[in-house]
Structure 1
Amino acid sequence: MTSAVDRIAGVAGTLRGRVPPLTAIPLPRTVDERWLGSRWPVRELAAPPPGSGLRPVLGDDGPPVVGHVPEMMRFGLDFSLRRFEQYGPVSWMGAFGRRIVSLSGPEATRIALVNKDKAFSQEGWKFFIEQFFERGLMLLDFGEHHLHRRIMQQAFTRDRLARYVTQMAPPLREGVRSWGDGGRPRLYWALKQLTLDVATRVFMDLPSSGGAFDAARINRAFVNSVRAGTALVRRPVPGGRWAAGLRGRRLLERYFAANLPAKRDADGDDLFSALCHATTEDGDRFGDVDIVNHMIFLMMAAHDTTTITSSAMAYYLAKHPQWQERAREESLRLGDDLPDLDALERLETLDLVMKEALRLRAPVPSLSRMTTKDTEVLGHHLPAGTLVAVSPTLNHFTPDCWTDPMRFDPDRFGPDRREDKAHRFAWMPFGGGAHKCIGLQFGSLEVKALMHEMLRTYRWSVPEDYELKWDYVSLPVPADGLPIQLAYR
């Protein structure tokens, strides 16, 4: 049976590189079929230079004005899989009033993220989030990015990580036990509040409630700033997401600026203090504005992605109680002491479950780039100034790399299989290349510490027929908040 990829390749020429056997993927059938096929005319993004031997990038605009944004937000992974089936690893689509090229699959993403000829810049992020996360580390390019990363790395040394673990352990234990016995909380929101509390204490050594900047206001400011990046109306219209994001950004600036002088004067163990005092061997350090910008970005990245990952892990452990019991046995063997860094690293089952949850539900499903010059990916011509979306999500379901990719199977990361080693970019929930997440170790330790406390305190479950649906308006979050049954073990 001829797939959509084969049909398009027959028109555009033979695809260079290896296209995964998409017919082997059990593609979900939840996406409205009407947008597939000939509903939207297939067009070329731009004509390749004469004699270059390159092929054009094919795609379609989708519905007028909004493009494919509503379908992306509604269907998420299902939409991406369908799009890949139709067009292959390099395509474009209409979205947010622009034409955006999508690069999917290990080889296409490798080209963009390794970026040997510096053809892909972080300018792509600026289209979505610059006004809300101005000059965060993820938005910086090349030499400037390298300098800022060198300074920031001083805040993520192993000694620093060990101190962060010591700081986060008490509020995690206290927060998890506060949920109580026999309840059915919307777990996502409980986790989000808890991770914000931890981030506030560990990153700033400040309480997360009271005063002009209480936890609820800070949390809402972060939520509004993140969601504004995918607003369809990208103007500060009263009541709109863009306007709410701008208000959130201003509040966060005031929050960090108000506390910065005290952090400069002291030498604490929190991340805020670490950034204030971080200095490279060459004497480079951050100015006040840089610190405010980086703290806003790091706080968002720390508690949003941690909340998503721990929610996904809790869901899969509820659906697969044998894995929950296996992980619990390891946690109980640690005893009642608060875990330190070395103890968390010994929780091998949680490590497997976390990696599989990150594969199935990547917290950041798309990485944005902008081409700095004419370039090519897998034989396709991308002109300068092209907005590009690099998709980790599709890599996590490539049958060439993963056995039965739709199935929850943490053992695929075990030492006897290591399916994530099938390709350098088969598994990339933390991005890759020069911009790979600088806080990945911190985030992983926090998630394991949180899940450890849940396992030693509760057993939890969901109804057998319950299937979690995800909201993709910005980052993927449980649409219903993940109602879960908790009981003291």
Structure 2
Amino acid sequence: MRGAAGRITGAASAARERMPPLTAIPLPRGVDERWLGARWPVRELAAPPPGSGLEPVLGDDGPPVVGHAPDMMRFGLEFTFRRFEQYGPVSWSGAFGRRIVSLSGPEATRIALVNKDKAFSQEGWKFFIEHFFERGLMLLDFGEHHLHRRIMQQAFTRDRLERYVTQMGPPLREGIRAWGAGGRPRLYWALKQLTLDVATRVFMDLPSSGGGFDAARINRAFVSAVRAGTALVRHPVPGGRWAAGLRGRRLLERYFGANLPAKRAGGGDDLFSALCQAVTEDGDRFGDVDVVNHMIFLMMAAHDTTTITSSAMAYYLAKHPQWQERAREESLRLGDELPDLEALESLETLDLVMKEALRLRAPVPSLARMTTKDTEVLGHHLPARTLVSVSPTINHFDPECWTDPRSFDPERFGPDRREDKTHRFAWMPFGGGAHKCVGLQFGSLEVKALMHEMLRTYRWSVPEDYHVKWDYVSLPVPADGLPVRLAYR
């Protein structure tokens, strides 16, 4: 066999040349720098078919037993950058007992997400989260996914969105005022509880407690289910993340199942009612099990991604107070009334800041896929049944698409620059193709409504030398909870 190191293609070399020098990674205390920088033996994923002209996918297994999973979770973006520098846009890594192919950069991600020949299925998600988010929309494929998406879209029409905005206004204003000024609250956890309260009000028109289901238990159940997807021990060992995730799933099933009969019988304006009542022109509708599965998935998706996005925005606005003041001026011009949908859409500065925060810190840093058959990406051979990770990370920092990509610069999304239009997949925080997030408009409106209320009520800051560290154990969250100083404006 030819030397594997000599197989790194011209595409990989060009990719490395495009990337700017990487900043030093502040390693946690006690972590040996050699661990991340180690060079493990380079191997081929699989030999390409003879005469195909394709290159093998190169990569390495990483440390024994655990593979690269700890490094992925510990270093997040920096781990992805280093793998891209070493191997280019198509490579594989050992993790979670599997070999996982990473597709990075606009062209590689486009091939998988557009998926013209249906070579990539959602089955990749099943490896990570099927036990906890069974048959959520993100886990469905092809015709079945299309049918479920058609039904679900009835819950996200503009008329529905207008009602959701009306419903979310009071709990957001009330919850944010309750924080109070002074001290240094852990903002991420305050936002997480607030978005859960909003989700239970808007999605279910129910309080976040009662019937034996208090808000803290529901919150813990969601957290446990999400974190279980990246458990290194993928069995229900007592005290382990996998077991906690299974307990969380069972609690959520009971929570939604207990309230389903009333939603079937009523005609409410909440999302739960909308899913219960939705019927397509052909008479298709969701069964009870479908409704429960979709509610668990949607609550997780709305709750966690909204919390991460608003936390990132709050952090960058604290680090860049001139942008905080600019956004505040627009919010104050709306007056004291709770904003409706059109008012939120008019907040152009918040829109720019949100897009930039989503670029710098995508709430979902990896999209899982499974190859349905032998296929190729950028001249590399991927055999059938290959677990694939499609990542927006490299796309969001590609200097061919973005000016000074490490910097916080919301103006890059302004009408005079529109750097997000340099490539169809230069900016993809909501995924792309047939599986692009169905609730992206709802999520964007909730984030803007939340930040609007924060801007009206407080000014917030962090020390000049403070830099948040993001924990990538599941989805990216501030490891220290994001302490900020709140002051009434």
TM-score, structure 2 normalization: 0.97
> How many angstroms does 1:25 deviate by?
4.4
Aligned equivalents of 1:205, 1:292: Cα separation in 2:
15
Matches within 5 A, 1:130-149: 130-149=130-149
Give 2:382's aligned residue: 382
1:413 lines up with 2:413 in the alignment = yes
Aligned equivalents of 1:114, 1:19: Cα separation in 2:
22
> How many angstroms does 1:20 deviate by?
6.5
Residue by residue over 1:235-257, the C-alpha shift from the partner in whole angstroms, topping out at 9 and shown as x without a partner, is 00000000000000000000001
Matches within 5 A, 1:232-381: 232-381=232-381
Give the stretch that moved more between structures: 25-34 or 302-311.
25-34
CA contact (8 A) 1:48 1:55 kept: yes
CA contact (8 A) 2:93 2:101 kept: yes
Aligned equivalents of 1:472, 1:36: Cα separation in 2:
15
CA distance 1:25–1:405, change in 2 (3 Å) = farther
- SS of alignment partner, residue 19 of structure 1: helix
Same amino acid, percent of matched pairs: 86
Give 2:454's aligned residue: 454
Aligned equivalents of 1:148, 1:23: Cα separation in 2:
40
Aligned equivalents of 2:11, 2:393: Cα separation in 1:
21
CA contact (8 A) 1:9 1:15 kept: no
Give 1:21's aligned residue: 17
> How many angstroms does 1:368 deviate by?
0.1
Aligned equivalents of 2:236, 2:34: Cα separation in 1:
34
Amino acid at match of 1:14: G
1:106 lines up with 2:106 in the alignment = yes
> How many angstroms does 1:212 deviate by?
0.5
CA distance 1:404–1:144, change in 2 (3 Å) = same
CA contact (8 A) 2:36 2:71 kept: no
Alignment gaps of 5+ in structure 2: none
Aligned equivalents of 2:35, 2:220: Cα separation in 1:
35
- SS of alignment partner, residue 407 of structure 1: coil
CA distance 1:362–1:8, change in 2 (3 Å) = farther
CA contact (8 A) 1:318 1:461 kept: yes
Aligned equivalents of 2:68, 2:26: Cα separation in 1:
16
CA distance 1:37–1:242, change in 2 (3 Å) = closer
Aligned equivalents of 1:329, 1:91: Cα separation in 2:
47
Give 1:11's aligned residue: 7
Residue by residue over 1:124-143, the C-alpha shift from the partner in whole angstroms, topping out at 9 and shown as x without a partner, is 00000000000000000000
Give the stretch that moved more between structures: 202-211 or 109-118.
202-211
Q: What number of residue pairs does the alignment pair up?
A: 483
CA distance 1:16–1:315, change in 2 (3 Å) = closer
Amino acid at match of 2:55: R
Aligned equivalents of 1:64, 1:113: Cα separation in 2:
32
1:485 lines up with 2:485 in the alignment = yes
CA contact (8 A) 1:27 1:81 kept: no
CA contact (8 A) 1:15 1:379 kept: no
> How many angstroms does 1:399 deviate by?
0.5
> How many angstroms does 1:26 deviate by?
3.7
CA distance 1:297–1:224, change in 2 (3 Å) = same
Residue by residue over 1:265-318, the C-alpha shift from the partner in whole angstroms, topping out at 9 and shown as x without a partner, is 000000000000011111111000000000000000001000000000000000
> How many angstroms does 1:28 deviate by?
3.7
CA distance 1:17–1:154, change in 2 (3 Å) = farther
Amino acid at match of 2:477: V
Aligned equivalents of 1:226, 1:44: Cα separation in 2:
32
> How many angstroms does 1:182 deviate by?
1.4
Aligned equivalents of 1:23, 1:309: Cα separation in 2:
25
CA contact (8 A) 2:19 2:398 kept: no
Give 1:154's aligned residue: 154
TM-score, structure 1 normalization: 0.97
Aligned equivalents of 2:292, 2:171: Cα separation in 1:
25
CA distance 1:116–1:16, change in 2 (3 Å) = farther
> How many angstroms does 1:37 deviate by?
6.9
Residue by residue over 1:192-212, the C-alpha shift from the partner in whole angstroms, topping out at 9 and shown as x without a partner, is 000000000000000012330
CA contact (8 A) 2:15 2:84 kept: no
- SS of alignment partner, residue 455 of structure 1: helix
Give 1:89's aligned residue: 89
Aligned equivalents of 2:12, 2:87: Cα separation in 1:
14
Aligned equivalents of 1:381, 1:222: Cα separation in 2:
38
